[in-house]
Structure formats: C-alpha cells, structure tokens
Amino acid sequence: MHLKQEISVFLKRKMRFWDPLGSTQEFSIQTFIKVMKHPKFLLFGGLTLVFFFATDPSTNRPYVPLWASAAIWPIAYVIYMSLYAFALCVLSGLTKAIPRLRTPTSLLGFVTLFPTIYFCENVLLNIMSGGTYPSTLNGNYLFYFLAVQVSEAVFFKYIYPGMDVHEADVEENADDRSTEAETSKHIIIGGERIPLRQIHLIEAREHHVHVTLSDSRRRLRARLGDVVAQTSSEDGIQTHRSWWVARHAAKELGEENGRPVMRLRDNAHIPVARTRVSQVRTWAEDHLEDGIQAKPAAE
C-alpha cells in the first residue's frame, strides 16, 4: 500500500511550466495522461500530423513508398510523446526536491524532438528507402522545432483551457490526511449535499446561488452567507459579497482595468471587492502557489 501511495503522489504531483507564449501552466503526469486521451487532443494531434504529411518537410516522398511517407509521421509522434512523458517523469522527481521549479515547455520540446527526428530520419527512413534517403535533419531541425512550438502555443492558448482534466489532481502535501479530508468534504446548498471538490465557483443572484461545478452549472435557492459559513479558509475565499471561489479553482490575485480580480485556472476573472482586497491578498499569499501576480488596486 505504501508503494501504491507513492506512485499516486508521483503521478498527481503538479509541475509548473511556461508555455511558448510565456503564460504559466501547471499540470501533473496524471493530467498529461488525461489530455492524451481527450477527444479534443486526439483531433488536434491528427490535424497536426496531416499538416506534416501534406507539407513533407523531410522531403522523403521521392525515396520511399507513399505508405511509408504517411506512416513515418504517426511513428514520430508516438516516439516524441513517449520521450515527452519520460521527461515529465524526470521533472516530477525534480519538483519534489525543488517545489518552486518552473520549466519552459520549449525546453522539453527541444530535448525530446532531436532524438525523435534523428531516429526517424537516420534509421527508419534510411531503412525504408534502402539507404538512398539523405537525412535533412541539420537543415530542417529549426523548422521542426518552430512548427512544434507554434502547435503547442495554439494548444495551450485555445484548446487546453477548455479541457476539464484537472479535477482529480491534488497538490502533494506534507499531511496526506488533510488532503483526504478536503477531497471528501461536502456542503449543503439549497438542501442538496454537494462534494466540495466539485465546486469551483459560487455566485449569488437575488434569492439564488449559481454554482459552477467540474462538469455542470446549478441554480439553487440559498443564501451565499449560509453556504460560506460551511467552509474554511482552506476551502476557498469570498472575494465579494456575491462571489465565493474554491481554492483549487483559484490561480492568483491580480488586476484588470484598475480593478482587483481573482484569476481562475480556467482564465476566468472574478471581482474582488475593494474592502476585501487586504483579506484576499493575505489569503492568496498563504494558500496559492502563484499568490499575487500583479499588485491589486489600492483598497
């Protein structure tokens, strides 16, 4: 059982990155696996492979059969993603030793892309062509690298934010029992018992609250004050008289158009009342990894 728990922590340990556009990202190996199986990612990956086959940057078609020219790209993709997964495993171990470690995804791409292209061009295409294929790695590596970076930038900007793959991730904590208690906690809203870990956001509107869950949105008759009274600072923070944000959904306290806001992991911005800025700032410093990105407007 001890080994099983260690493996679970290893897979769920969140790692921090800069994507190709310079935005901050964080995900675990478990999230990576979920992304790999997600229909949106499979479609995106398939279209990317079609692009590489259509443009033929390796110029292999004069030297190999058409089926081989088409097959080389899925093979390269599998090798690349396998090496990428291995690199994430190494990073998970490093993150345990250096919790604040943040790595550019471009560095991962650079490290994993080179052996992928080298093997495909100097081994596979060489065999498929009967030794006639002249490797173009030296001349085309920059194109491959930039193409992959553009693909990753599009993925992180437009596709990844809409993929609900984070709900099972937990940050490694010195007190595992505290984490287990948090994930099993329920609160009562409008007479319904809802797992706290599924709640991302609660907004009060007149005599109802609108509850944003991991996979749905509910409208229930309740007072926000009664709901918040069931939570602690470990669970989340009331940023405004009409808003409560769960800790696992919050990313950082920032500013937008001169107004203080709480940025969420799905890129949504929730208002922070000026009278609560000091309280929310202290909470963010104590409970969020990113804490405060930009100094909020004065109270």
pLDDT at 166: 58
pLDDT at 291: 63
User: Do 240 and 124 fall within a single domain?
Assistant: no
* pLDDT tens sequence across 136-154: 777 788 889 999 999 999 9
User: Do 83 and 193 fall within a single domain?
Assistant: no
CA distances to 30, 62, 97, 139 from 67, rounded to whole Å, are 34, 12, 46, 24
CB within 8 Å of 207: residues ≥ 6 apart: 221, 223
Angle between helices 29-37 and 66-97 (to 10 degrees): 160
pLDDT at 162: 77
- Please report whether residue 296 resides in a domain: no
We report the CATH number of the domain holding residue 268 as: 2.40.50.1020
- Please report whether residue 174 resides in a domain: no
pLDDT at 299: 47
> Position 141: which residue type?
Y
List the chain residues with pLDDT less than 70.
1-2, 166-184, 290-299
User: Do 198 and 85 fall within a single domain?
Assistant: no
pLDDT at 290: 63
User: Do 10 and 97 fall within a single domain?
Assistant: yes
User: Do 109 and 242 fall within a single domain?
Assistant: no
User: Do 26 and 98 fall within a single domain?
Assistant: yes
* pLDDT tens sequence across 168-182: 444 444 444 444 455
CB within 8 Å of 178: residues ≥ 6 apart: 234
Domain of 63, in residue numbers = 2-162
User: Do 184 and 149 fall within a single domain?
Assistant: no
pLDDT at 184: 63
End-to-end CA distance of the chain: 50
